[in-house]
Amino acid sequence: RAHVLDATYDYVRYRSEADSWPREIAAPLSYNLLRARSKIDGIAPLEQPPEPTVRDDQGHDTFRVSLGVGQQAHREFTQLTFRPAYHDILDPPAGYRRGAQLQFLRLDARYYTDNNELQIEQLTGVEIRSLSPRNAFFSPLSWQVGFGARRTDTGEKRVLAPYLEGGAGGSWSLGLRTQAFVIATADAEIDDDLRRGYDLAPGADIGVLHQSNRFSFAGGVKTKAWIAGSQYRQDELYTKASWHIGREFSLFAEFTRVDHYDRYQSTWQAGLHAYF
């Protein structure tokens, strides 16, 4: 009973601060809980939580180099990726907060073998994602934001366009290492090759994330309604997986199927991540 009263008092204090409870409600409730707790003596303190197997300072190194091969719309390519920092949701999770992602200055470069063409596929300036599961007591906001430049389809060709994206929603635990999420998203792209020089898209991302020390997986569906320029909807089915080999290497595979401009396009890729 003493431990229940302690936990209830802490929760009341949290809710009173988070929800700005008026003093005439919070103060008497806190006082009654403390008075009831003071009548119970001789209770041993709660045990300290066990030290994790992998501490925060023992996770994978943050500099990552990736080499993969794949195919996009029947065009085969080799992709090289450099990411100076820090962590994404499919990296080995040990030592990092689950559902959290923070990447800086990531460069994805592709070499297409059909015409010996080298292209920048994406340059990520900053990408932040936080998927925090809700429960009966807490309702944290899951959110994401990012900016950089990426290949976008204009209907006639793929151009490298600056972008800004964000989103907010919720996440719910499906087990110890798995969660489902629903995120309302918003995208903006700017480029002279776009119909108006820019485009805007509200959308949604609905998916599942699994993270374990051996295997991580993310899959779901995305939809965007481009409303300023192209006036087309873009729907995407995606699956991504990583098999972790210790904290130094991961094998990865991913597949996407996109419906845009009334045509379907599939892309797959597989390769190796190395952490330094």
What's the pLDDT tens digit per position in 55-94? 888 899 999 999 999 999 899 999 999 999 999 999 999 9
* 38: Cα separation from own chain's centroid: 45
Mean pLDDT, residues 178-198 taken together: 96
Using DSSP's 3-state secondary structure scheme, residue 57 falls into helix
Which residues face 222 on adjacent strands?
205, 236
Q: What is the pLDDT of residue 95?
A: 93
Mean pLDDT, residues 92-103 taken together: 96
**CB atoms inside a 10 Å sphere around CB 164:** 15
Whether the CB-CB separation of 111 and 77 falls below 8 Å is answered with: yes
Helices within the chain (DSSP H only): 2-18, 23-38
pLDDT at 138 over 90: no
pLDDT > 70 fraction of the chain, expressed in percent and rounded: 100
Q: What is the pLDDT of residue 114?
A: 93
Q: How far apart are CA 171 and CA 236, in angstroms?
A: 20
The per-residue pLDDT for range 148-163, each reduced to its tens digit, is 999 999 988 999 999 9
Mean pLDDT, residues 209-229 taken together: 96
Q: How far apart are CA 231 and CA 155, in angstroms?
A: 11
Q: What is the pLDDT of residue 51?
A: 80
Mean pLDDT, residues 99-103 taken together: 97
The per-residue pLDDT for range 195-212, each reduced to its tens digit, is 899 999 999 999 999 999
Which one, of 93, 83, 33, lies nearest residue 62 by Cα?
83
Q: Is the peptide bond before 261 cis (omega within 30 degrees of 0)?
A: no
- Looking at per-residue pLDDT, the higher value among 231 and 80 belongs to 80
pLDDT at 53 over 90: no
Using DSSP's 3-state secondary structure scheme, residue 1 falls into coil
Q: How far apart are CA 199 and CA 273, in angstroms?
A: 33
pLDDT at 46 over 80: no
Domain boundaries, given as residue ranges, for the chain: 2-38, 58-275
Which one is the CATH code of 58-275: 3.30.1360.200, 3.40.50.720, 2.40.160.40, 3.40.50.261?
2.40.160.40
Burial class (CB in 10 A: 0-12, 13-18, 19+), 38: exposed
Mean pLDDT, residues 242-258 taken together: 97
Long-range contacts of 195-199 (CB under 8 A, 24+ apart): 195/154, 195/229, 195/230, 196/228, 196/229, 197/229, 198/228, 198/229, 199/226, 199/227, 199/228, 199/229, 199/230
In this prediction, residue 3 has a pLDDT band, given cuts at 50, 70 and 90, of confident
Half-sphere exposure of 57 (CA within 13 A, CB side): 1
Q: What is the pLDDT of residue 150?
A: 98
Give whichever of 99-108, 136-145, 193-202 has the largest mean pLDDT: 99-108
Mean pLDDT, residues 170-186 taken together: 97
The per-residue pLDDT for range 4-45, each reduced to its tens digit, is 988 899 999 998 998 889 999 999 999 999 999 888 887 777
Q: What is the pLDDT of residue 45?
A: 76
Q: Give the chain's length.
A: 276
pLDDT at 137 over 90: no
Mean pLDDT, residues 241-260 taken together: 97
Whether the CB-CB separation of 33 and 12 falls below 8 Å is answered with: yes
